[in-house]
Chain A
Amino acid sequence: MLLEIEGLTKTYRSRIRRGRDVRANDGIDLSVEAGQVFGLLGHNGAGKTTLVNQIIGLLRPDSGAIRLEGRDAIADPAFARRACSLQPQAQLPIDGLTPDQAIELIGRLRGGDRVEVRARRDRFIDELSLAEWRRTDGQRLSGGVKRLVSFAMAAVVPGSVVILDEPTNDVDPVRRRLLWQQVRGLADEGAAVLLVTHNVVEAERSVDRLAILDRGRVIAQGTPAELKSGVAEELRLELVLEPDAAAPLPAPFIQRYVPNGTRAVATIPAASAGDAVAWADALRRDGIVEEYSVAPATLEDVYIELVGRADTLSDKEAIDALAA
């Protein structure tokens, strides 16, 4: 295992009042091996970034263990920063630097040889389709391009563990695909990739294993297929409403129902597929629904189910957090 975390707990002490402490990480166990893309899912404030900052030694855990390549990372944060490369969630302020310069400098700061770093940088620039901006000042780059540059900075001389915190934010759909190929490429090269995201839909397609974090605890862990096994007998009915139509009341066979703006998502038992299609089609004829679809339940449904059960989010917030 390249990354092993056991019983990791971190509490932020309130400076104002005792008893207001926030337990950001609460007994987290997880491990990521070489060649694996591991997704860490959770809504804002679930404790994802706190976990990352402990791995790279910027925060000290209250208790628990972090081992990188079998070595105690808590005792040796300088080692942790060599072993991990990080794409942070915040946009990097690279004003004054071009993507070429930023990627090369970080690669060399991480110990890479100039010629080899340049060759690898050129490959990322090419494969992420960034060539037209490679000599543009960072100040004038769009958010999506900056995000891709930030990824290349983490990947140009990767650690044995590569941590990507929301790598696809602001990135256009075409380059998102290119980015996911590169993420997979890093794992194929032998890195353990820890992918932090709240984008469940993308994570389902891209990760080998994942953990769902909620209020600092891992509430589920496994492969996407394992996590979905609980909803194998369920279908997902999605309605797109006509612009001015109010969301229809749920039919009796609907198990969970989340209306959100012009969209409504319902979970139904597989046996009710016929009834669901008939119901939705009637709504379409009545001019309430523009279009609908019935499909197998996704990881998103599992996520809402699990996090909803933990009772931390209203459905509206859950949908907002999930909307990519």
Chain B
Amino acid sequence: MPSLHDFWLGATTRRRSWRPSGGAPSATTRGTRTDRLPGDLLRTYALLVRWQALRLKGFLPLAIVVQSLFALGIVIGYPLLFPEIDPLTILFLATGAPAITLISMGLVAVPQVVAQARLAGSLEYIRSLPVARLVYLFADLTVWMAIVLPGVVFALAIGVLRFGLDLDVTPLVVPAFLLVALTSASVGYAMASVLPPTIAMLLTQVLVVFVLMFSPLNFPPERLPEWLQAIHAFLPVQAMGEVIRGTVASSTFPTTVGAWALLAAWCVGGLGIAYVTLRRRG
């Protein structure tokens, strides 16, 4: 097994140099010496972010539309179910909307696109390049987070505007959103890496229903049957909702350290599975 040092640094490339005429690489520049410099990793990361951003740029408008529809549905549509609506319910809906948009992108859109990339062979191509797998994984997740964030901000804004809410946002909101986005995307990524592509795509549909209907994002967990509460104590969805609510409406909703820890564990688990799958040699 290569050492930790090797997997970070062993797969980076070194700069090669040719005559600027565009002529042939000289024999000495073809070699395979490795520059083990962090700068090379950053350079590879930046290039991969650009590669993935260009490939997924067509996805951005679609992502914003889908997320906005989700948000509108929750903030404008759900209240129609209640003849009278109390302020706590409103706050649940307004803070649940960004959580749901974020989670649905991570658990639905990410696995679908990754599964497609596997089917189309583009993942295999990236694997044939001299880039460290972990750097690729982070670059891909970075692009995904950038795609997801505008829709989340819109979801939050629409809740505030619709109900004239006064949120009390804490500085922890930034790490909270990043952690939720990264965790849901890594879990989605892991799902798409391990399962056969068609099964992964099917599972995303099941997850939409589960997240929308049976997860305590728009309502307190006590309303769920006990057995489902017990399950949610281990799944990341409830913790995602708590972490977001606790940082945008901190005076009403407390966040527990346990929720952050649970998310961190899922995040590391998802990343680990995705990384191992990317590295695996058949």
Contacts and interface: CB of A to CB of B under 8 A. Distances in A.
20 contacts: A57-B281, A60-B282, A78-B130, A79-B32, A82-B34, A83-B32, A88-B125, A90-B121, A93-B117, A95-B55, A108-B43, A109-B130, A110-B13, A110-B129, A111-B13, A111-B15, A120-B18, A157-B16, A160-B32, A190-B30
B58 A96 contact: yes
Given A78-B6, A82-B13, A88-B121, A58 B128 contact: yes
Nearest to A126: B22
Interface string A203-230: 0000000000000000000000000000
A112 B16 CA distance: 5
Interface of B: 2, 6-7, 10-11, 13-25, 27, 30-32, 34, 43-44, 47-48, 50-51, 54-58, 117, 120-122, 124-125, 127-132, 281-282
Interface of A: 56-60, 69, 71, 76-79, 81-83, 86, 88, 90-97, 101, 105-106, 108-113, 115-116, 119-123, 157-160, 185, 188-191
Given A58-B127, A59-B282, A111-B15, A93 B121 contact: yes
A102 to B, nearest CB: 8
A239 to B, nearest CB: 40
A130 to B, nearest CB: 15
B11 A81 contact: yes
Contacts of B20: 115-116, 119
Contacts of A94: 55
Contacts of B281: 57-60, 77
Contacts of A93: 55, 117, 120-122
Contacts of A121: 22
Contact of B51 (A58, A109, A160): A109
Contacts of B54: 96-97, 101, 105
A110 B22 contact: no
Interface centre among A82, A106, A112, A188, by most chain B C-beta atoms within 10 angstroms, is A82
B22 A116 contact: yes
Contacts of A82: 11, 13, 32, 34, 130
Nearest to A50: B282
A88 B17 contact: no
B17 A116 contact: yes
Contact of B22 (A97, A106, A119): A119
Nearest to A95: B55
Given A82-B34, A109-B47, A88 B124 contact: yes
Contacts of A159: 30
